[in-house]
Structure 1
Amino acid sequence: MRIGYGRVSTRDQNPEAQEDALKAANCDRIFVDKASGKLASRPELDKALIAAREGDQFVITKLDRLGRSTKNLIELSEHLRDSGVDLVVLDQGIDTSSPAGRLFFIMIGAFGEFEHAMMVERTHDGLAAARARGRVGGRKQALKPRQVQLAQQMYDELGADGKRKHTVQGIANELGVARTTIYRYLEKKEIA
């Protein structure tokens, strides 16, 4: 089965040219999204991907109609490949059922791996540079050392009946943090 997919990026664009090209390519089913914005959902793409079965062809007019970014395109291409679905791009003459088309898939995957490796390398370099300047990453401590000491004192304080005088929720309210934060600091104290 040939499944056609088209997408227009703005409300002003008309999908008819893509629909006509997909019909001319003998697509059995055609799905078209009218999505604007990078984060807009694409329900028709989701339906098309669900409809595509092993041995089917997923037909689009241009490569940019499938993915909004290189990363997104690579992810969708890999999904199709893993599902055993061939990708056909009409305007670029790409057909992954041919050796040249499979080479294209391999190149997309290689570019994706390269892009990921470069991103990881840049992240490590940035963290190393920040550490060299005395900055450490991660979230800022929720409580200052004096507040931690106060929380521990309140937690350890017993009433006349021998029970804890303050609840963890009461301590959290007093210090303006979540109850889980108090537990986290109390656990660190018990471990140390």
Structure 2
Amino acid sequence: MYRLPRQQYSWGVASIGYARVSTREQNPDGQTDALEAAGCAKVFVEHASGVLAKRPALEDALDYLRAGDTLVVTKLDRLGRSVRNLKEVADGLQERGVGLRALSQGIDTTTPGGRLFFHLLAAIAEFEHDLIVERTRDGLAAARARGRKGGGRLKLTPTKARQARAMYDEKTYTVQQIAETFGVSRGTIYRHLTEHAEPSVRG
């Protein structure tokens, strides 16, 4: 991968910012202003949905970071596609000796307390996700017991689409299982997955 020059920051550690907005119509200035105010020597800006697997600006930011640096975001949801993905990024940074700060949530993994808080937050979010999936399945089972079936006519709301994407990213559910969880057809799930240009879709 092409490695961006560190220029005048090559002599020492630095705070590097990462900002993301979902569309090109959205303005990232609020994030970039906050990151610069927090002392970021350089800010990488992404114009991409959080569910997209490929985010070039994030890849450049991660490639730019060195041991002792800190990656700074305004909020954790700017960084990860899902709780699992967020934890993978944070674990990768920690292995490289790079810190992570989330300004609005007061998280700083360069401190023992910050690392603990981050992992607690990730665990709570994962637990919440599992509860949503379990409740959805229980609701569908109850509906089927009353003679109603989850059908392909239903469409996924944006929230459910994100949840379906998170389940798919975990690599533990098939498309059929995800479809049954949300009471839609496999075609509906495939449609939402392929809209975001995933390289492959499991059956």
Q: Normalization by structure 2: what TM-score?
A: 0.52
Whether the aligned pair in 2 keeps the contact of 1:71 and 1:112 (CA below 8 Å) is no
RMSD over aligned Cα atoms: 2.6
2:112 corresponds to which residue?
Answer: 99
| SS state at 2:60 partner | helix
What's the offset of the Cα at 1:37? Answer: 6.2
Letter in 1 for 2:68: G
Whether the aligned pair in 2 keeps the contact of 1:89 and 1:95 (CA below 8 Å) is yes
Pairs aligned (count): 119
Partners of 1:54 and 1:91 in 2: CA distance: 24
Gaps of at least 5 residues in structure 2 are 1-13, 135-203
Structure showing greater Rg = 1
1:54 corresponds to which residue?
Answer: 67
2:48 corresponds to which residue?
Answer: 35
| SS state at 1:6 partner | strand
2:167 corresponds to which residue?
Answer: none
What's the offset of the Cα at 1:70? Answer: 0.9
Structure 1 residues 45 and 109: CA distance shift in structure 2, 3 A: same
| SS state at 1:4 partner | strand
Structure 1 residues 113 and 48: CA distance shift in structure 2, 3 A: same
Regions of 4+ moved over 6 Å: 111-115
Partners of 2:64 and 2:21 in 1: CA distance: 20
Letter in 2 for 1:96: T
Partners of 2:104 and 2:116 in 1: CA distance: 18
Partners of 1:2 and 1:50 in 2: CA distance: 14
Q: Percent identity?
A: 56
**Does 1:2 pair with 2:43?**
no
Letter in 2 for 1:84: G
Structure 1 residues 16 and 109: CA distance shift in structure 2, 3 A: closer
What's the offset of the Cα at 1:110? Answer: 5.7
**Does 1:16 pair with 2:33?**
no
Partners of 2:63 and 2:125 in 1: CA distance: 24
Letter in 1 for 2:85: N
Whether the aligned pair in 2 keeps the contact of 1:54 and 1:85 (CA below 8 Å) is yes
Whether the aligned pair in 2 keeps the contact of 1:11 and 1:36 (CA below 8 Å) is no
**Does 1:67 pair with 2:100?**
no
Bigger relative contact order, structure 1 or 2 (CA pairs below 8 A, ≥6 apart): 2
Q: Normalization by structure 1: what TM-score?
A: 0.55
C-alpha distance after superposition, 1:23-71 (max 9, x if no partner): 1011011101001362252111001001111111110000100012111
Structure 1 residues 15 and 109: CA distance shift in structure 2, 3 A: closer
Structure 1 residues 79 and 112: CA distance shift in structure 2, 3 A: farther
Gaps of at least 5 residues in structure 1 are 123-192
C-alpha distance after superposition, 1:58-112 (max 9, x if no partner): 1000010001211111111111111111101100011112221121344367679
| SS state at 1:20 partner | helix
